[in-house]
Homo-oligomer: A and B are copies of this chain.
Amino acid sequence: MLVLSVIKRVPEEIKEHLEKAFGETHFTFCHGMDEAEDHLLEADIIITYGEDLTEERIQKAKKLKWIMVLSAGMDLMPFDEIDKRDITVTNVKGIHAKPMAEYAISMLLQVSRNAKLLSQREREHQWDRRVPMMEINGKTMVLLGTGAIAQETARLAQAFQMKTIGVSKSGRAKTHFDETYAVEEMESILLEADFLVAVLPSTPETKYLLNRDHFKKVPDHAVFLNMGRGDLVTTVDLLSAVQENDIAHAVLDVFEEEPLPEDHQFWEEERVTVTPHLSGISPHYVPRGFDVFECNLKAYLRNEGMENLIDPKRGY
């Protein structure tokens, strides 16, 4: 059986570990799909970021039974062809949970502890103990989204003794949330938000889900953090919410247009913090992805159920 990986720069220790752990299985590690083209014919399993598979390649890979996507987004996967061939697809849903939860807590602490001003004072060599400090314990975090990333963020928020409220399509109860509500009930929940954290994927239902009126509902001292998708709210609504003091601060990792243009107003706003879509970036990404793969390979070889199965008909 051949496992074909087209992931670039897989650490040697991961390769050696897999070859040792699965002696009966052959592994071919290629530096991208171009290098892998000739091996497609023989591959039973492909490990990919999911952006390099075309209909033609699926057709060429006649023995292919399982695609392991080392990513959470799968917009470029040729699901029709995959579905026709009844090929199994799994991904690494949840792999972003730890770095993104740390991003959220880090940024909320930075805003609450006035890190920008402190850093300026440091550059000026100015010993200024009057810079106002807030604590995050005892506050309420409202999370838009209750999936793996939101849950990990809520878990840390609870460790900081925050109240955590989740908003999702179903409103179903989830671990690490003190309360959960369906999206229809969102408006009344916003009144409680000291921190409003958006972790929603981009779907027709979440597109421009938030508007200016929602920001008017949250307390003036609230901090909004968006690490989901940039089309949750229009730039215009968000900018006026900050400029007209509906909210105290916005921390933005995602934008309607990325990269954020150099002359964009967000860069200049004192009470907007811009980060370049990096909340999910982690040095542990590839090792964690291969950990998920290894678990699933064990299950696959034993004909047992795998984690993070994707329905090709729905694409998620």
Contact = CB atoms under 8 A, between A and B. Distances in A.
A128 B131 CA distance: 29
A133 B276 contact: no
A160 B118 contact: no
The A contact surface, by secondary structure, is: loop
Chain A interface: which size bin? 35 or more
From A121, A125, A282, residue with most partner B Cβ within 10 Å: A125
Interface string A121-136: 1100111110111111
A278 interface: yes
A105 interface: yes
A109 interface: yes
Contact of A129 (B122, B155, B274, B281): B281
Contacts of A262: 125-127
A63 interface: no
Contact of A106 (B109, B116, B122, B284): B109
A260 B133 CA distance: 20
Contacts of A263: 125
B102 A135 contact: yes
Given A98-B137, A102-B160, A133-B283, 12 more contacts: A102-B109, A102-B135, A102-B136, A106-B113, A122-B267, A125-B264, A127-B260, A129-B277, A131-B278, A133-B281, A133-B282, A156-B160
